[in-house]
Each structure stands twice: as C-alpha cells, then as structure tokens.
Structure 1
Amino acid sequence: MPIQANMSADGQVLTIKVSGRFDFGAHQDFREAYERGGLSPERYVVDLHDTDYIDSSALGMLLLLRDHAGGDMADIQITHCNADVRKVLSISNFEQLFTIE
C-alpha cells in the first residue's frame, strides 16, 4: 500500500508513510490517512523515505494536511526526503511552511 498511517501509542503523533510515487493517484488514500476516525494528534510526521517522486498535486495534498492540522499553528514534519524530493520541496519554499528533516 503506498500510504500507511500509524498513530503513536499516546495518540499525540500521526505518522504517514508514502511509498513510491506521491502524485494525484495517492490523493484519496493520503486524505483518508489523516481524516479517518476523527483523529486529532498534536503532531504529524510525513515520512518520505520510500518516496521516489513528488509532483505539484502532492504539494497541494501537503497544504491540505496543513490546513486540516491547524494552518499556521500546525506541527508537521516532513522526514527522510531523497535529494530529488527535497529539491522539489525547496524550490516550492515549503521550508517556510513545514519542518523538513
């Protein structure tokens, strides 16, 4: 499955792992990962370790997650990006909106 979501035992952190291509084809699964069951974690982690491609629709999905998580008050980390994915995030100035590690 290209999108996997895991809530921490204490319910504070939702980690969403994206594998393969992060594009429009992942839209529904990505949205369901953070909207399911009325989850309300304090922090979100988007793990892109196994992501080999990201496009503009994925950037839009990350912005929708940010809105869902509280906009400017959202605590979202994007982790484990490869060089190509990091370049897309950098060109898009996503460092201004997310913590990228």
Structure 2
Amino acid sequence: MVITSQPSTDGKVLTIQVQGRFDFAAHQHFRDAYEKASISPSRYVVDLAETTYLDSSALGMLLLLRDYAGGETAKISVINSNADVRKILSISNFEQLFDVR
C-alpha cells in the first residue's frame, strides 16, 4: 500500500492516490496525505486507479476526509475505480456523498 498526495499548481486541488490495498493499515498514511498537505485546497480528488481492494475501514476514511474538508459542502471526487471497488462504493451509497467517476 502506497498513498501519495499531489497539489495542483494553483493550490486549489489536492489529489490523493491510493495504490494497492485500501484498508485499515492505510489509515494514518491516508490521513497524513490530506492533513499534512502544504496547501488548503477547495477540492479533493481521491484517485483509485491502482487500488486493488477496498474495505469498510476505507469507507470510513473517506468519510473522515469528507468531514475534514467541510462535511456536506465538501467537494470530493473519487475517480478511476475498478469494477469491484466501484461496486462497493455503489452498494454503500457513496455516490450520494461523493462525486464518483
């Protein structure tokens, strides 16, 4: 599991990439990716292109990011999910809380 974050050049967007398993072992790394960012973005993008697995603790981590980013007014996109990950997000109704693409 590797988690990286990359701010946009204008500092308005923070992209967090999750590689490998997105589970409880990723908790502190995922949290650090947005809490220790050098910018205060207005939007977040969670890129799951290289995520092979996602469990309920990962769903909880996404909710923590949402709270950190402003709750109901947070602008968070979850992108590039594979079919299995997208199915979990859909079953969990996360499409109502996040912009899932």
Give the TM bin, normalised by the shorter chain.
over 0.9
Pairing 1:1-101 to 2, within 5 Å after superposition: 2-37=2-37, 39-101=39-101
CA RMSD of aligned residues (A): 1.1
How many residues align? The count is 101
Q: Which of the pair is proportionally richer in strand?
A: 2
Paired amino acid for 2:79: T
Give the structure-2-normalised TM-score.
0.97
Separation in 1, partners of 2:70, 2:6: 20
2-side partners of 1:42 and 1:63: how far apart? 17
Q: Identity across aligned pairs (percent)?
A: 66
Q: CA deviation at 1:39?
A: 3.3
Q: Deviations over 1:26-63 (max 9, x none)?
A: 00000000000563101000000000100000000000
Runs of 4+ with >6 A deviation? none
Which blocks of at least 5 consecutive residues in structure 2 are unaligned?
none
TM-score normalised per structure 1: 0.97
